[in-house]
Each structure stands twice: as C-alpha cells, then as structure tokens.
A and B are shown apart, each in its own frame.
Chain A
C-alpha cells in the first residue's frame, strides 16, 4: 500500500538513526548526537513516535553506579517498516538504508535485553 505518511526532516533523521541498528536499544543523548537535534526537538518527536506505536521505550534495568536509570528506545516492527519506507522514499532512488534492518524485520527481531542499554 502506498504510504501517505509524511515526516519532517528531523523525524526522518530520528527514524533513520533508529533504523540503522533496529534491534539495539538507543539512548536519547546518543540519538541527539547522531542526528544533531537538540533535546527540545528530539524528545517531542520520540513522544509522538511512541504514542503512535512506531517506537517502544523502556527503562534501563541496571544503571551505572551513581547514575539514574536511562530511558531506552528502539523501533517497533511497524515502526521499522514505516522507517524503511519513508527513509527509502526520502533517499529517492538511492539504496535503501538499512537493508539489514529489512531482513531483521522480516525474520522477527531478536530480543535484546535492555540490561545495560
């Protein structure tokens, strides 16, 4: 089905970042560093993606000593499909980013325990 979803450039960059290693849980700061987004832009995007079921979030189970538990994010299966679709269409005829991610999505994502994040 042809997607009618349109995303801003910032959202696309977040989706692309999450799409690179979709099985891995990612931290907010790492995403901010990778995408170049400020926290005031990144977190509202993550919230909206999570509210629409494209991103799942959880808390780190074993935080570093003296540090609070960190919040972790990764794409859901529908989120991965959407991310691949929109990043591919954004890239035009360029090779799809995350072909490995596509295989991962089709095969079912291996569970990653968010113990250490």
Chain B
C-alpha cells in the first residue's frame, strides 16, 4: 500500500471514536494473515466500512453527514429538467419540502417525545423511513409525464393533489418519528408486530399492483381468473392483517398501571399496530410501485420480469408506461386510505384483544401464567426495550430484552413481530 493511502487511512482512523479505532486496527493487523490479493482486499473492504459506518451512525455528526449525502444524491437525480415544465417544478418542490421535513421534524418531535429510542427496530424504522421517503421522492420525479402540462382547473387540481401528498408524507414522517421516540407509549412488541405485518402486506400488495392500479399496464402481470389467489391474499392481509396485528399487540401488552389504565393502553397499542400494519404496507407498495413505473422504460430486465415471455415493441412499452404513470396516483390514495383502514380495524379489534387478555397482570385478577420461574418486571416506560446501555458490566443480568444480534438483528425483530414477537422487551412480552 502506498504511503498516501496509509496516510489517508490514518486520517480516517482519527475521525472514528476512540473505542472503535482498536477494531479497525484489529482488522488491519489481521489482514496480514489473509492470503494476499483479492481475498485480502475483500477482508479489508468488508470489515473496515462496516465498522466505520457503524461508528458514524452512532454519532450525531455522522448521522447528519449520512443524511446530507443521501439528500445530495436525491437532489442530483431529481433537480435536473427544464424549469418551464410543471413536472420539474413539482419535483423540485417535493425535494425541498421533503428535505426540510426530514431535517426539521426530528427536532420538533424531540421536544415533545424525546430523541430516538435505543431499540434496534426503532432505529431501523427511522433509517428505513427516511430512506423510503427519499426513494419515493426520486421515483416520483423520474416518472414520465403522462401528457402536456396541465392548465386551468386541471392545474389547480394538480397543485392540490401535490400539496395533499406532501402533507401525507409529512404525516408519515411524523408518525415514524413519534412511534420510535424515547418517550413514545408504543411498546416494542407493538412496533415489531405492526411493522412485520406491514412488510408482508406491502410486498403482497406490490405483487398485485406493481404498476399502480392501471388495468392496461398491470393486466398482463396477473392473468387468469378474476379471483387471483394473490389478489385474494392481498385483500385478506389488508383487512385481516391489521386486525390480527392489533389483537396480538393488545394481548401482549401487560402494563404497568391499574386495570382501567391497562385497558386504555391496550386500545392505544391496538390502534398503533393497525396503523403501522397498513402504513408500512402502503409506504412499501408506493415506493416499490412508483420505482417500478419509473424504471420500466429504462430497464429491460424489469420489463422481462413484468411481462414474461412477451416481446414488447417500444411503442407498446411507452403506452403501458404512460398508462402506469397515469395510474400511479393510486399509490397516493393508498398512502391516505390504508392508515385510516388500519386505525379503524385496530380500534375495532381492541375489544377482542382486551376480552381475550382477561384481567391484566397486577390488576387485581389472577396473575397471568408465566412460562419462566423468574418473570422479569415490567420496565417503567410502558414496556420499552430494556437493553439501553445494558451489559456494560459484563454480566448476563443486562441481557433480558437484548433482542436479535448480528447484522440481521432488525430483520429478526421484524420476523419476531410476524411470528408473535417472542423475546422482545420485558414489558411487552
């Protein structure tokens, strides 16, 4: 390695927190044992960025740096275009508004609900939510305009629709920040269950409508009978998913508080689980769908995937993309309607959750049977994960509530939500 590269590595090392520098040195030293060439390069290229990224994300400056880079990349893609075109004006307005929202709302929310929680799922949701909103902004800007610029009443409606969509996006960002805040009343199990259900719903909904709700564009994707199994599954997940998530979240909530307070809190958990299940699903289908429409004319592999076995002429691709672009507004409706559906179904299901839970633990009735001989007491923060700063003393006493480990930890918590959330925080078992 040249001296210049070594010097650059030295400077980069000094940017890291002191406690992480040893780990970088460790990987560096260990690379001498790795056979030289590609394997050694892979060793360094895999290990050093993993530690540097982790350390950067742990610091406030690092988080702002990552956000600035992501916002810059988004601007680079969305900003170009003639300012005379309506689509360009809208794309720029979207970009500026979204960046301001993402930068300003955390500060505003922290005044009411505190900073971000320490849970991995919370961090994953925040990072994923930010990435999702920026990706959606890019995908929306890259849609081919369906026709000439609107004029007259159509222009007014277009502005109204855009502003409404930005308000909805602001609502999503605020909701993500609220449920992942330190003083949030949402239990970790609720977060995991709702998010898990939402991921499944979003993926299935995307399979049903990868190109919006345009029949012309989407019909070839799901040929066959009127009642396609995937469509049926999507309906079941849309209506049944939030209810199941709500019942599960409500049943898993154990306190603290007197029975009346616990019942009220259970209704809250049910409502949040329902909103999360549909909100996360809506966000996923909107991003994937809008991205697919934007990519379709540019990526041959995507066209092969969307229309297997069909050899489309350029004109046919263009007409289907126009149809899909026209239908992409349906994703905006999904973004609005799904959380409302989730809220209603969640509140509706809370009665079942409360009824099936029986008398809450510590609330005068018989205690809930615990599988283990030493039940861990509920944490004071309505069941928030108890792993904040745990284990510093090198004792397993700090381990209860320590969730999934390793690089797939977040996925593990989400999957735990799908399978019942086993092993989550102490207060929301």
Q: Is the CB–CB distance between B399 and A10 below 8 Å? A: no
CB distance from A105 to the nearest CB of B (A): 12
Interchain CB contact under 8 A, A10 and B406: yes
Quick one: which of B32, B44, B402, B406 contacts A67, CB cutoff 8 A?
A: B32
Task: Pick the interface stretch among B19-27, B139-147, B288-296, B349-357.
Answer: B19-27
CB distance from A9 to the nearest CB of B (A): 8
Structural contact, B412 and A8, CB atoms closer than 8 A: yes
For residue B8, give the distance in angstroms from its CB to the closest CB of chain A: 18
The answer, yes or no, to whether A70 is at the interface (CB within 8 Å) is: yes
Stretch touching chain B among A17-25, A42-50, A93-101, A106-114: A42-50
Given the complex, which residues of A lie within 8 Å of B54, measured CB to CB? 44, 47
**A7→B50 contact, CB < 8 A:** no
B33 touches A8 (CB 8 A): no
Contacts of B422 in A (CB 8 A): 6
Partner of B26, one of A10, A43, A76: A43
Which residue of the partner chain A has the closest CB to B26? Answer: A71
Which of chain B's residues 390-416 have a Cβ closer than 8 Å to chain A?
390-396, 398-409, 412, 416
Number of interface residues of B (CB under 8 A): 50
Contact residue among A6, A10, A39, A53 (Cβ-Cβ distance under 8 Å from B392): A53
Q: Chain A residue with minimal CB distance to B399? A: A5
- How far is A45 from B409 in the complex, measured between Cα atoms in Å? 10
Chain A residues with CB under 8 A of B372: 1-2
Q: Which residues of B contact A3 (CB under 8 A)?
A: 396, 399
B391 near A51 with CB under 8 A, answer yes
Complex interface: chain A residues within 8 A of B22 (CB): 57, 59, 71
CB contacts (< 8 Å) of A81 on chain B: these are 396
Separation of A79 and B390 alpha carbons in the complex (Å) = 14
B30 near A1 with CB under 8 A, answer no
The answer to whether B407 and A10 touch across the interface, beta carbons within 8 angstroms, is: yes
Q: How far is the CB of B374 from chain A (nearest CB, A)?
A: 5
Q: Does B46 make an interface contact (CB < 8 A)?
A: yes
Task: Tell whether B155 is near chain A: CB-to-CB under 8 Å.
Answer: no
Residue pairs across A and B with Cβ atoms less than 8 A apart, 23 shown, are A2-B373, A3-B399, A4-B426, A5-B396, A8-B407, A8-B408, A8-B409, A28-B27, A29-B34, A43-B26, A44-B51, A45-B407, A47-B20, A52-B399, A53-B392, A53-B395, A59-B22, A68-B29, A68-B32, A70-B33, A71-B22, A78-B394, A78-B395
Nearest first, the 9 A-B pairs at minimum CB distance are A53-B394, A52-B391, A39-B47, A71-B26, A40-B46, A8-B406, A2-B372, A40-B50, A68-B29
**Known A28-B30, A53-B391; further 8 A-B contacts with Cβ < 8 A:** A2-B373, A4-B426, A6-B403, A39-B50, A40-B46, A57-B26, A71-B29, A76-B394
